[in-house]
Amino acid sequence: MVMRVTVVNNAKQSQKAPLLIPASAIADPTVANSIRSHVFKSAQSKLKLKKPSRVYVGKTGQELTSKEGWRNNIKNDVVLFVSAGEEYVGARKEPTVHADVKPDCPTEFLASNAPVDSLAITQLTATAHTLPGIVHAVGQPDLHPGTKFPIGAVFASKKWIHPPLIGGDIGCGMSWFKLTLPRSQVDGDKGKKVAEKLRGLEGPWRTQEHRKRWDRMKKVAALLREGSPEAIQYIKEHDKASKGGTLPLSTLVEDATYLTIEDARSQQEYVYIRRKGAAPTYNPETRLPLNLLPLPGSRGTPTLILQPSFSALTSWGLKNALSLAHGAGRSMSRAKALSLLSQKYKGQNILQPRAGDIEGTWVVCDEKDLVFEEAPDACKDVQAVGQDLVDAGVANIIGWCRARVSYKVRNEEY
């Protein structure tokens, strides 16, 4: 992902210029395509600095000389002071590091087949190594960049609670339902009739994050995502919000919440587990393992049915922080998907299956941008994500089902 920084002439600090550092740039300052080389070129061309030789981080005055220094300090909106050899001009503000910060906090990445954006890895590592109290961090195979914190990540902490790690959409999750609708009623063009009947579903809970997807595995089932962002007294209200989101869900088959904080106790540790786009592998109330978990694909790929696995090889769930991936994960940002896919599918109707595809998906989505932002191409390969979980020893794939109707949003008058 492109990084946006500001380059300043250290000796004449009124001279400054914006710089977009390409995603291909490397932290190692000794290589040709280094971040430092881009900074120096910008200083020469925009600031007219003839012989740039040193770079400092604004406010702290830290000089960037090593690969680790560049990797840890280059982020959006950072200000870099470029010098022709002179020392940093300005007051140095020593960075304060809390005693509970663990720079060596262990991080686990479960992806081996699914591609992972380097920015997401940087976000996870930086979060684990800079926020106080974090003792373990896991990047699921669906890991992808968030605005500030990664999605598809799990963080365990002692003593500390960090609400921004999960954001405001508390309790957003998935639920399975068995329906009386026979499979024959969604095969082929019959799926269109079901899609047309799905009206009046928005009501007061309408948001972009709510979605209904009808899947089938011999019988027809429904997979729902729901959320309820309320926080006053944070943990108490967080739990109330999380539980409140599932109260109306009757005839429940299985559900999983993937934007939560919970406490996990053992003889050795008492920690808080934060899931930002990840599903728990056990029932927090009974402490018993779940029999199955859905791993949603996209509108064009199956939903895998996972069975969480616990063994000595994974330290009985420590390796994956008692969590699994919550979906295929994004392979490109919403903005990029909208830009690229709106052109790729220009003039095509991707809300219905291709001709002759009897197992395709009928999509209900009346907001044009969302059609492209959440197109199958914008997601990772769910099979690769699922296989990564199997290879890591944290889950088994025991089945799959394919979406026949995917409900996102319908514009209706109320």
Extract the annotated binding site: 326-329
8 A C-beta contact, residue 110 and residue 138? yes
393: left (phi over 0), alpha (psi -120 to 50) or beta: left
Is 326 catalytic? The answer is yes
CB atoms within 10 A of CB 87: 12
DSSP letter at 68 equals H
Print burial letters for 265-301: b (CB count within 10 Å at least 16), e (below 16). eeeeeebbbbbbbbbbbbebeeeeebebbbbbbbbbb
- 3-state SS assignment for residue 337: helix
Which amino acid is it at 120? Answer: A
Query: Helix/strand/coil (H, E, C) string of 30-64?
Result: CCCCEHHHHHHHHHHHHCCCCCCCEEEECCCCCEC
Torsion angles phi and psi, residue 276, rounded to 5: -105, 90
Report the alpha-carbon distance of residue 150 to residue 386 in Å, rounded.
19
Residue 173 CB neighbour total at 10 angstroms: 23
Q: Give the annotated binding-site residues for GMP.
A: 326-329
Distance set, CA 348 to CA 57, 353, 367 (Å): 49, 11, 16
CA distance 172 to 229: 8
Neighbours of 324 (CB within 10 A): 32
Q: Which two tokens stand for residue 258?
A: 């993937």
Q: Is 305 helix (H, G, I), strand (E, B) or coil?
A: strand
Place of tokens 């909106």: 77
38, 136, 144, 326: which is the annotated catalytic residue? 326
Which DSSP string corresponds to 137-151?
A: EEEEEEEE--SSS-E
Tokens read off for 133:
């109290």
- Give me the residue label for tokens 């926080």: 231
Q: Which amino acid is at 127?
A: T
Q: Please list the active-site residues.
A: 326
